[in-house]
Structure 1
Amino acid sequence: MIKVPLTVVGAEKLKAELQRLKSVERPEVIQAIAEARAQGDLSENAEYEAAKEKQGFVEGRIAELEGKLSNAQIIDPKDLAGAAEGRVVFGATIALEDLEGGKQVTYQIVGDDEADLKDGKISVSSPIARALIGKYAGDVAEVVAPGGIREYEVLDVQYL
């Protein structure tokens, strides 16, 4: 099995979603199916069909989350060797400056399932994360982007 890296926070979010699906969503769907069945003829029962469809979605998501969590390698960035040295590692939060435009951004390097650019979380497999891994504050990283090569200076590295 291939281990999938997850931060501690990302693993907790997946566990919380799994718990909610099992303890809230699944019983609601079962109740909806029971109520729809009580109405009689199932051949033209839209509520029954909708409930069965939702049940399929919920069960599929539960299986997906259980699979992800069973293959997860939960990593706390504070425990990694590079953290003591101030090096960019998985889970690190990095403040960057785009050397071309001067714009400053902050990203956290996370697993593929946790990545969300709106929250400032980038996938460890993204081009920018790959370019940043191993760098220190003050280093310049060259990122091959669709628009060409971009250079970012690492301003700060934190392990939150």
Structure 2
Amino acid sequence: MENRKITLTVDGLKKLEDELEYLKTKKRKEVSEKIKVALGFGDLSENSEYDEAKNEQAQVEIRINELENMLKNVTVIDAEDIDRTKVGIGTKVKILDVEFDEADWYTVVGSTEADPTREEEKTISNECPLFMAIKGKGVGETAQIDTPDGPVTYKILAIE
């Protein structure tokens, strides 16, 4: 993974740190036990359990490496530094899709922690086209995004 700066909220940072801790303290031990058990089955040339455990071990180590690299290059958005009069990283924004007259709340986060499919709290990335269109705008302002089906207009209803 390249060493580019990663923007996170405090919650996003905690989630990554918690995942890294879990992988290092629990998951490594679980995989190590799987390898030990699989070694007990004998001949490694036809031991699918051993192969699976070694593959899982490799995946865990790759993820640990990714997380460590991310955490070395992280910029944390401090809630007290967020300008709540304009859309930016760390703000919660209510956006209206003008054509369909549908509004939804989104929290703007760094690309690493974005997950627009989460129903309980929707997030959008600071790198997505929607954010790029509404970035820096205030309540009552509109933005337009060109899509394959034509332009879509959004209106900022509220910012928290």
Shorter-chain TM-score above 0.5: yes
Regions of 4+ moved over 3 Å: none
Cα distance, 1:105 vs structure 2: 1.3
**Structure 2 match to 1:102:** 101
**Structure 2 match to 1:12:** 14
Query: Retained in 2: the 8 A contact 1:77–1:90?
Result: no
**Structure 1 match to 2:66:** 64
Aligned residues: CA RMSD: 1.4
The CA distance in 1 between the partners of 2:33 and 2:63, in whole Å, is 19
Cα distance, 1:40 vs structure 2: 2.5
Q: CA-to-partner distance for each residue in 1:50-92, whole Å, 9 max, x for gaps?
A: 1101101111111111111111111124323x23xx1111111
Between the aligned residues of both structures, percent identity stands at 39
**Structure 2 match to 1:154:** 156
Residue 6 of structure 1: SS of its match in structure 2?
strand
Shift of the 91–145 alpha-carbon distance from structure 1 to 2, 3 Å rule, reads farther
Q: CA-to-partner distance for each residue in 1:4-29, whole Å, 9 max, x for gaps?
A: 11111111111111111111110011
1:138 is the counterpart of 2:140 = yes
TM-score by length of 1: 0.90
In structure 1, runs of 5+ residues without a counterpart are none
TM-score by length of 2: 0.90
Give the number of equivalent residue pairs. Answer: 155
In structure 2, runs of 5+ residues without a counterpart are none
Cα distance, 1:146 vs structure 2: 3.0
Cα distance, 1:110 vs structure 2: 1.1
